[in-house]
Structure 1
């Protein structure tokens, strides 16, 4: 399926948004999903369910409010509070940063190992050893 490009201005929830606004909102949602994957279990069950419904299940504030029997403002406040908690966890623990750093090093090691498979070179082997040492230190 081909991805269709959106027009420069899009009507979103009654407000015209340009592509950069949409892109920012999408990036924010992806980042919040990633934070949730790493730290979601640290949220209280009630808040976790509301955050999950809003971010992962893409339910509206109104749908969640009706389902939970609370106001839309209450849902909004919980989502914002959860976002803050998850961001704070990442700032303190840095698990996503460590994961990304380790993943990048693993990709580089894989690439260098593929080079070694075709042609053995001492400098390439040294790079693999250095990267693997760095990876162990990061963990």
Structure 2
């Protein structure tokens, strides 16, 4: 059992987004915040992306589990988001996939309520957020 904080990366992406783009965004974001990739414990997204090849390939590369949540599960995190996207809501039924998914999985894995360590970062066809819990 891990004694340190649990870090969860939440990811949203456009269809067909390659793993290399997701990985570059992840590496760049972690580097900018001084966080080691080895500290990340899990990846999260929305169930609409559970078959997304780039996400699955990234999870495989990193040897990390990818957990997907449905829009109903993610929408309960709306009040805790730093950014609400109307476009995301129209397309998915939740206001922010990356932040909501990161918070949802960190809440599930941890013993304390999760907080956003890195709010939504936007790259080419990718959104990413990092939640932490103890």
TM-score (norm 2): 0.22
Structure with higher strand content: 2
Structure with higher helix content: 1
Highest Rg: 1 or 2?
1
TM-score (norm 1): 0.22
